[in-house]
Chains A and B, each alone.
Chain A
């Protein structure tokens, strides 16, 4: 079974984190929430594998 990668996997993590914050810069809570929801869906579709997605849902909830 495929396993969710929970070890560091993002190149230059500070840059990614800054991009994530920049995306929300100056937006209302409502806009940001909507963007986050879209982001979750886009990333989930990219992963596609239901087993991985299930592990990710569980990891997020724990």
Chain B
């Protein structure tokens, strides 16, 4: 029997029998992705766009019910834009800048995020996770229709794996029974409870937080609530929880998140009348709403010891899990896909050694640790673990009402920012030390306006040599890798942001930019030898410093 573990928000890839099921011997694929969540689909988009054949196996037929993630950060939107579905996301998403912080019976302060100008995408959007997944799946189908070698197989559950030196044998259960596949690479994007981790007996260690959160998505009826984020520490309406978060999603839906403690009776708490009692205590009895979805979750901050085990690579929640505070789950998973995609693409196409994949491990482990650190800190502030921790937390909140200095200490989740891969083995030494720190080797390229368009649209997919105020040849090929040139002048952006972000106090600059839009090397003017070395280094063809 093929059972379903969760209800679907919508069906996207109904089960269809495929030729591999009737093959006499197991068919070998270059890349198989286990799991069709946001990270698995993003990985498929990345590979498919490079014309690398990829098969996604998911044990359901579409996107799970329930919104889960709602905050998608700028970097995720930029990655999605590179894949061709970022604009739909911003069109659908809600952008907010005003946040209010409450403590006990009163508002302690209000803030405006004042996002930096000159980026195509906002600092983040609020949007239900099913939309995020839907837009990526639809994009995958578009690409498929244009000939991209992407297959998504619904109701294909991976039940067993046998790891060989250079491939994996995968046993899959379908409604028609089992079949076997082989893959040169298996990417585990099978979520926080990763069955694949279990099959390979790999550890997942870290901290478990003893608290339950009740989330409810509600649709407001006849009420105009402002587009603001409200975070309430110790609300006076105790029945609402020890902390409460409210923010807006598209379709007039609001997310309410109640911290309800460790010792709870789950089935009691999930009864509609009890959820409504909490909501009424929070919103006031006169606010009318419809309960759209609710769930209780606990969380942990954990990661694997290594994200690669021979031909098996882990990404997304399967590799690392964080608390939801700071919205780092799906956002960091998108960066995993962004990081892994081009490396795997080069390795599968025999343009880079397999050791390049180890740098995915180095870089994303670094990212995972940064995310776990940030989300653990937010969690410690929101749910203090000792009397002293609570004492300081309350002191910060108390002071924040009157004194501006205390507000930066209030931590109700820090916005997910992309990781700067300082110290990555793929970086070349900074040969433009006087350039802006934010575009040093390892950094993701910040966007900048260019007349009607934006800089990032010109970068990524392949390697790029970005020249500012200096001449470079149209392209440069080294070790089978071609970097195309993009030549710009500070005058291409009258607002001055391009120059501020890429030149700073220097007169000219040449950047080598990776397919994932991270800086690999930079220098003042075209230095052919240095650029060739940087390309070799960034593609794992030169290991020494």
Contact = CB atoms under 8 A, between A and B. Distances in A.
Interface residues of A, number: 8
Interface in B364-407: 391-392, 394-396, 398-399, 403, 405-406
Interface of A is mostly: helix
A37 B409 contact: no
A41 B394 contact: no
A51 interface: no
A37 B409 CA distance: 14
Nearest to B408: A45
B395 A38 contact: yes
Interface string A21-62: 000000000000110011011100100000000000000000
A40 B406 CA distance: 12
Contact of A34 (B394, B405, B409): B394
Nearest to B390: A37
Interface of B is mostly: helix
**From B392, B395, B398, B405, residue with most partner A Cβ within 10 Å:** B395
Contacts of A41: 392, 395-396, 399, 406, 409
A22 B469 CA distance: 66
B399 A34 contact: no
A34 to B, nearest CB: 6
A41 B395 CA distance: 8
A34 B17 CA distance: 66
A37 B392 contact: yes
Contacts of B394: 34, 37
A37 B403 CA distance: 15
A42 B391 CA distance: 14
A42 B58 CA distance: 54
A38 B405 contact: no
Interface in B419-468: none
Contacts of A40: 392, 395
A42 to B, nearest CB: 7
Contacts of A38: 395, 398-399
25 contacts: A33-B391, A34-B391, A34-B394, A34-B395, A34-B398, A37-B391, A37-B392, A37-B394, A37-B395, A38-B395, A38-B398, A38-B399, A40-B392, A40-B395, A41-B392, A41-B395, A41-B396, A41-B399, A41-B406, A41-B409, A42-B399, A42-B403, A42-B405, A45-B405, A45-B406
Interface of A: 33-34, 37-38, 40-42, 45
The 10 closest A-B pairs by CB, nearest first: A37-B395, A45-B405, A38-B395, A37-B391, A37-B392, A41-B395, A33-B391, A38-B399, A41-B399, A34-B395
